[in-house]
Amino acid sequence: MSGAERALTAEDLAARLNGSLRHCPPNRPISEVRPLEEAHPGSLSFLANPKYAAKAQASEAGLILVDSKTDLGERAVLVVENPYWAFAQSIAWLHPEPMPDWAETPIHPTAKIHGRVSLGPGVTIGARSEIGAGSVLHPGVHIGDDCVLGEGCELFPGVALYRRTRLGKGVRIHANTSLGSDGYGYVLVNGRHEKVPQVGWVEVGDEVEIGACVTIDRGVLGATRIGAGTKIDNQVQIGHNCQIGEHCLLVAQSGISGSTKLGDFVTLAGKAGVVGHIEIGARSIVGGASVVAKSLPEGSFVTGYPARPHKEWIETQAALNRLPRLMKKLKG
Amino acid sequence: MSGAERALTAEDLAARLNGSLRHCPPNRPISEVRPLEEAHPGSLSFLANPKYAAKAQASEAGLILVDSKTDLGERAVLVVENPYWAFAQSIAWLHPEPMPDWAETPIHPTAKIHGRVSLGPGVTIGARSEIGAGSVLHPGVHIGDDCVLGEGCELFPGVALYRRTRLGKGVRIHANTSLGSDGYGYVLVNGRHEKVPQVGWVEVGDEVEIGACVTIDRGVLGATRIGAGTKIDNQVQIGHNCQIGEHCLLVAQSGISGSTKLGDFVTLAGKAGVVGHIEIGARSIVGGASVVAKSLPEGSFVTGYPARPHKEWIETQAALNRLPRLMKKLKG
Amino acid sequence: MSGAERALTAEDLAARLNGSLRHCPPNRPISEVRPLEEAHPGSLSFLANPKYAAKAQASEAGLILVDSKTDLGERAVLVVENPYWAFAQSIAWLHPEPMPDWAETPIHPTAKIHGRVSLGPGVTIGARSEIGAGSVLHPGVHIGDDCVLGEGCELFPGVALYRRTRLGKGVRIHANTSLGSDGYGYVLVNGRHEKVPQVGWVEVGDEVEIGACVTIDRGVLGATRIGAGTKIDNQVQIGHNCQIGEHCLLVAQSGISGSTKLGDFVTLAGKAGVVGHIEIGARSIVGGASVVAKSLPEGSFVTGYPARPHKEWIETQAALNRLPRLMKKLKG
């Protein structure tokens, strides 16, 4: 997705974004947008919050978008009014989404079918996608461009894989589930929610099973990842850039907001919710219809809204049940 | 949808519904069913609840379905045992749904494709539908009859638009979302849930983005409306006749019951729920997994179940956490 | 699904499962796996929990999987380390899923279309499936092998019926809903979630309406059943082997875990949840966003999390609202 042919100079970016370069040679080539911690010298990155200044200092990014209140000393920065909006625009310029490459035939001539694969009627496979041997694609499965499916996958009717989705071996996905839809990212500019382009992808490990009507968003820039052996029930929602560990159980109608990490063997019971940008330690259990708003250490067992240690939740519920009587008594 | 050729007389209706006309010429032509506030002299309307009698008095409706306990003075009424059931039956008679008009070809010969449009394999477009220039329809998108898509729309695999759906310009809809399914309307008659026919449609403003596996029901009679610039995340459910303002944010797995109105710039956080027939004032915020059961003024910020002002919710949760200790102390 | 040609002897099973036969002739033919209460002399069954020993004693099962701690006296048992895992493996051996039987044509030559049926473009119908007269299948509907649809069904775009689904008369199913996906059943073996094969089906009674993006899992072995006249709203999830009564109302985004039974005329309000393996008595009402964790008698009305009688819930919420003030007062 990067490459000198698509690079802009720091000066070009400054002009387009109406910003001011500091400590940066104007002709420095910038070919991609990346988060601070994954940035290279050819990367543009951005500092959303001054409290992460240390992270910015440690980053290899060739240029960092900041607002005028942020001081990063000698680091090469591009000072703009709204760094997040500048970040969104830069993604659009440096990572433009190609138009889908549809052929006359439902299976694109450049798709590669390995070994014996069973294809139902109405299956479409995009350009350059590869289907592993022994896979079964039921009627109406739609595989986008540049996808890779491992051996022995089974996709049921109506499954949609957006471009660049990668499935390991033996992955089963049930009807009308989609992987790779755009994450929910907008920035408010002049009273409108402007889109933060979502140009990443979804990666699914071996032996993962995913239920029906599940939605997994692709990463903003990199991957949303589902670890090997994880089992996802129907109607689960997973936001952009989530990193789900191995052998997790995500029960029906649970949901995880963007950029959250789950360790291995985490269980979310039915209808549980987890906010974005937190970490749930390995082997934790979140009770049904509970909402986790803070990171949890390994082996946690939490329940309620907001989720608290299960024992505490039991105690508060018991106390709550006795409360009306207590109040009457105190009045009397 | 209306027209003299399909009209029934007031007398015909009375006979079919086994009801009695009051203050109404028997040959008055009735050509459509409409809510009291939108009714015309050729409209049949109904009074669900005697407390709305003033609304009925003010209505232009040519005929109003009422029960025998309701007195609307000199207004033309049709007295029936069950006005809601009579209303449902009248919709079926006056607004019969046409059979879909499928041709041999997946793109109906009467469909109009404006300018250059990109169509994936397996796309179907119904009779008389129009697709705006620059639109991209991914594989397996199904557009019903009489739909209108503005310029530059992008619909991902498996999106289904029921008949008469209208999209503005630059609308993006993600995989396996459907617009225009029947609203959830039934009336209990003799121990069976009889269907209230749903014959309205869905209207979506410019620059709206809708996530994957979202469901938006069409109106019973008129439109379910999504205002321009609103952004809807994955797995959101919107009931029939909802009126969603402009630039709202409806986060994943939130749901809104029928006939509710949201002002502009309202935010529903993930898994939030809103009951039917209420109004949420502009710029209000509903916290994650919270349930709103009453109308809210502009600029509200509510949380919890039932939702209360956020500050109150914080206080009650803090108090709840200390409750078990308090109870021990009071006992000791 | 059973038959001598596929039977294994008790001895074969013992060898494959590395278990020990007790009180069972080694050559006893075992041709199917069934729950204790539905088992026949040719059935293999299993005892998950020693507290159900009486059920096991009463069962007609020809052989019962137990662990070494369980004593069923003179009953024919197969003692294994992990009866649930042995059960899962036995399903795979005795009830192997056939590969889908796709033809060159989207409508399989062996499918039977009764009377006049309206088929949209892109519809696929599997081998040996029967479509009742007067049915309407919209574009992109996918019917698996061996399905039966009664007269006058209407299926909207993207509906997927897995193999062996049975619909009564006049069933309407909205866009992108799927019936028959695998239930969520796994057994932890050596640090991996091994799949319990799901080989049952879904049965839907007459005049049922099902909304958009609904997911109904098939039974593990037998049927998941939806009673006649029941109305299911959008985005509802129903787990494997649930038995839903007649004329129930399941409102949007509600969910029911596996093996739960609902009596007739039960209402689940929006976003309600019900745990698995319980019974909700007829004419019960579960409030919006409430979670039912225990069986309920007929005519219950419960609300909250966990759900309690509605009146109690109202009282505890009122008390909770007054709690912060009470605490201040007690301090002062």
Give the ipTM of the model, two decimals please.
0.96
Predicted local distance difference test score (pLDDT) of residue A1: 39
* Minimum distance, in Å, between the CA of residue B34 and any CA atom of chain C: 24
In the structure encoding, which two tokens stand for residue C101, read together? 């039987």
Q: How far is CA B264 from the centre of its chain?
A: 17
Minimal Cβ distance to B326: which of C119, C175, C327: C327
In the structure encoding, which two tokens stand for residue A187, read together? 């920035």
Q: Are C215 and C181 in contact (CB under 8 A)?
A: yes
pLDDT band of residue C331 (cuts 50, 70, 90) is: confident
> Own/partner pairs for C46-50, CB < 8 Å, 24+ apart?
C46/C83, C46/C84, C46/C86, C46/C87, C47/C72, C47/C83, C48/C83, C48/C84
Nearest by Cα to A306 from A290, A288, A285, A286: A290
Mean per-residue pLDDT for C188-201?
Answer: 97
In degrees and rounded to multiples of 5, residue B65 shows phi and psi of -80, 125
Nearby residues of B302 by Cβ (< 8 Å), 6 or more positions away: B284, B285, B286, B287, B290, B292, B296, B308, B309, B310, B313
Looking at residue C117, its amino acid is: V
Mean per-residue pLDDT for C115-123?
Answer: 96
pLDDT band of residue A332 (cuts 50, 70, 90) is: low
Nearby residues of A80 by Cβ (< 8 Å), 6 or more positions away: A17, A18, A19, A65, A66, A67, A86
Q: Are C111 and C128 in contact (CB under 8 A)?
A: yes
Task: Map A143-154 to HEC letters.
Answer: ECCCCEECCCCE
Q: Look at residue A15 and give its three-state secondary structure.
A: helix
Across A135-145, b (16+ Cβ under 10 Å) vs e yields bbbbbbbbbbb
Predicted local distance difference test score (pLDDT) of residue A52: 86
DSSP H or E run through B101: none
Strand A63-66 and strand A43-46: pairing?
parallel
The number of helix segments (H) and strand segments (E) in chain C equals 4, 38
pLDDT above 50 (res C271): yes
Q: Nearest residue on chain B to C120, judged by CA atoms?
A: B102
In the structure encoding, which two tokens stand for residue B306, read together? 């039932």
Reported as a single tens digit per residue, the pLDDT across A208-223 is 999 999 999 999 999 9
Mean per-residue pLDDT for C248-268?
Answer: 98
Q: Nearest residue on chain C to A330, judged by CA atoms?
A: C326
Reported as a single tens digit per residue, the pLDDT across A182-194 is 999 999 999 999 9
Separation between Cα atoms, residue C214 and residue C168, nearest integer Å: 18
**Contact across the interface for B178 and C156, Cβ inside 8 Å:** yes
Q: Are C209 and C172 in contact (CB under 8 A)?
A: yes
Reported as a single tens digit per residue, the pLDDT across B90-107 is 999 999 999 998 998 999
Minimal Cβ distance to A251: which of C178, C184, C312: C184
Reported as a single tens digit per residue, the pLDDT across A294-305 is 999 999 999 999
pLDDT above 50 (res C3): no
Reported as a single tens digit per residue, the pLDDT across C144-193 is 999 999 999 999 999 999 999 999 999 999 999 999 999 999 999 999 99
Crossing angle of helices B83-94 and B10-17, rounded to 10°: 120
Predicted local distance difference test score (pLDDT) of residue A236: 98
Nearest by Cα to B167 from B181, B146, B182: B146
Separation between Cα atoms, residue A212 and residue A178, nearest integer Å: 9
pLDDT above 90 (res C51): no
Q: Which residue in C105, C165, C237 has the most chain A C-beta atoms within 10 A of its own C-beta, making it the best mutation to test that interface? A: C237
Predicted local distance difference test score (pLDDT) of residue C332: 63
pLDDT band of residue C330 (cuts 50, 70, 90) is: confident
Cα maximum dimension of chain A: 83
Burial (CB count <10 Å: 0-12, 13-18, 19+), residue A186: middle
The number of helix segments (H) and strand segments (E) in chain B equals 4, 38
Cα torsion angle, B91, B92, B96, B97, sign: positive
Express as a percent the part of chain C with pLDDT over 70. 98
Reported as a single tens digit per residue, the pLDDT across B115-128 is 999 999 999 999 99
Contacting B with CB below 8 Å, chain C residues are 118-122, 136, 138-140, 156-158, 172, 174-176, 207, 209, 211-213, 229, 231, 233-235, 247, 249, 251-253, 270-271, 288-289, 304-305, 317, 320-321, 323-324, 326-327, 330
The number of helix segments (H) and strand segments (E) in chain A equals 4, 38
Separation between Cα atoms, residue A45 and residue B37, nearest integer Å: 54
In degrees and rounded to multiples of 5, residue A55 shows phi and psi of -60, -40
Looking at residue B157, its amino acid is: P
Express as a percent the part of chain A with pLDDT over 90. 93
Separation between Cα atoms, residue B261 and residue A277, nearest integer Å: 31
Arithmetic mean of pLDDT over chain C: 95
Minimal Cβ distance to A192: which of B229, B251, B321: B229
In the structure encoding, which two tokens stand for residue C288, read together? 């919006």
Separation between Cα atoms, residue A33 and residue A88, nearest integer Å: 9
Greater confidence (C7 vs A30) lies with A30
pLDDT above 60 (res A237): yes
In the structure encoding, which two tokens stand for residue B142, read together? 């199904």
Predicted local distance difference test score (pLDDT) of residue C213: 98
pLDDT above 80 (res A318): yes
Helix residue spans in chain B (DSSP H): 10-17, 53-58, 83-94, 310-331
Separation between Cα atoms, residue A315 and residue A296, nearest integer Å: 20
Task: Map A198-217 to HEC letters.
Answer: CCCEEEECCCCEECCCCEEE
Arithmetic mean of pLDDT over chain A: 95
Residues of chain C with Cβ-Cβ distance to B124 below 8 Å are 120-122, 139-140
Q: Are C174 and C192 in contact (CB under 8 A)?
A: no
* Ranges of chain B with pLDDT below 50: 1-5
**Contact across the interface for A156 and C158, Cβ inside 8 Å:** no
Reported as a single tens digit per residue, the pLDDT across A136-156 is 999 999 999 999 999 999 999
According to DSSP, residue A107 is labeled B
pLDDT band of residue C48 (cuts 50, 70, 90) is: confident
Reported as a single tens digit per residue, the pLDDT across B291-303 is 999 999 999 999 9
User: Could you say which of B95, B240, B247, B277 is catalytic?
Assistant: B240
Predicted local distance difference test score (pLDDT) of residue B52: 86
Separation between Cα atoms, residue C198 and residue A163, nearest integer Å: 31
Any idea how long chain B is? 332
Predicted local distance difference test score (pLDDT) of residue B1: 39
pLDDT band of residue A2 (cuts 50, 70, 90) is: very low
Strand order from edge to edge, sheet including B261-262: B112-113, B130-131, B148-149, B166-167, B201-204, B223-226, B243-244, B261-262, B279-280
Predicted local distance difference test score (pLDDT) of residue B224: 98
Q: Look at residue A55 and give its three-state secondary structure.
A: helix
Predicted local distance difference test score (pLDDT) of residue C108: 97
Torsion of CA B282, B287, B292, B298, to 10 degrees: -20
DSSP H or E run through A43: strand A43-46
Minimal Cβ distance to A174: which of C178, C305, C306: C178
pLDDT above 50 (res C1): no
